[in-house]
């Protein structure tokens, strides 16, 4: 991987840590409550890609052990650490072989959109769970086990919405790039491969200069409010 990628990562994580909260105990509790959402979000997102490709005739995900809901099959340790510490991260990308697809553009589109679709469904399911818990929890009783369970489920909703919206950014290696590529058949253009090959650096630059936050935060906030109304 390009050394500049690691430079960008170092700069980003340093910036996030230096601007962290002064209440370390509260921050740690919040991180622990986020863990199930992170694990569920990444695992189901990557499994969604794997199952979609397999169902479309590609044996590669099965051969590589990706047809599983075991987090160990999908979580990249470094990506998990960055998501936990810095607020962004990644799973192990699912390898596919489009040669097995009957309709290459259509099937690659389905595989590309499968991960974010799964994140959307999970966010919707857990939003109903949060609403159900809110109906039986009395907030005047303090921070009971039921309170922490509700908070944990709330984070599952939020993190899956973040993963969904973030992955729809039309920048390689994110799903949004693959979706646009298939819709508009972008591979026929000469600029496609140069952009694709430098996608990770472009994405890191967008993150470091807060372009992603500026664009995505309002969208995630609106969806989060809509889901938990």
Does residue 173 have a cis bond before it (omega within 30 degrees)?
A: yes
Q: Is 64 helix (H, G, I), strand (E, B) or coil?
A: coil
- By C-alpha distance, which of 119, 54, 36, 46 is closest to 76? 46
Distant-in-sequence, close-in-space partners of 84: CB < 8 Å, separation ≥ 6: 31, 34, 35, 38
**Active site includes 108?**
no
What is the CA 165 to chain-centroid distance, rounded? 8
Chain centre to alpha carbon of residue 58: 23
Q: Which candidate in 15, 30, 46, 108 is catalytic?
A: 46
- Rounded Cα–Cα distance for residues 176 and 181 (Å): 8
- For the annotated catalytic residues, the residue numbers are 46
């Amino acid at each position: 991987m390009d050394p500049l990628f690691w430079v960008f990562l170092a700069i980003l994580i340093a910036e996030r840590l230096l601007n962290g909260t002064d209440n370390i105990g509260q921050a740690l509790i919040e991180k622990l409550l986020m863990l199930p959402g992170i694990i569920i979000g990444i695992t189901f997102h990557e499994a969604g890609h794997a199952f979609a490709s397999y169902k479309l005739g590609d044996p590669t995900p099965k051969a590589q052990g990706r047809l599983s809901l075991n987090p160990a099959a999908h979580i990249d340790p470094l990506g998990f650490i960055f998501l936990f510490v810095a607020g962004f991260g990644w799973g192990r990308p699912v390898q596919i072989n489009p040669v097995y697809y009957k309709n290459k553009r259509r099937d690659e589109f389905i595989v590309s959109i499968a991960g974010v679709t799964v994140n959307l469904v999970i966010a919707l399911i857990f939003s109903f769970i949060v609403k159900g818990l809110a109906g039986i929890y009395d907030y005047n009783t303090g921070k009971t086990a039921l309170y922490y369970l509700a908070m944990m489920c709330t984070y599952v909703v939020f993190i899956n919405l973040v993963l969904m919206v973030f992955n729809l950014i039309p920048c390689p290696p994110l799903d949004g790039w693959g979706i646009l590529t298939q819709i508009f058949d972008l591979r026929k253009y000469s600029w496609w491969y140069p952009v694709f090959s430098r996608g990770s650096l472009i994405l890191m630059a967008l993150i470091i200069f807060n372009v992603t936050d500026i664009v995505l935060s309002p969208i995630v906030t609106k969806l989060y409010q809509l889901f938990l109304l």
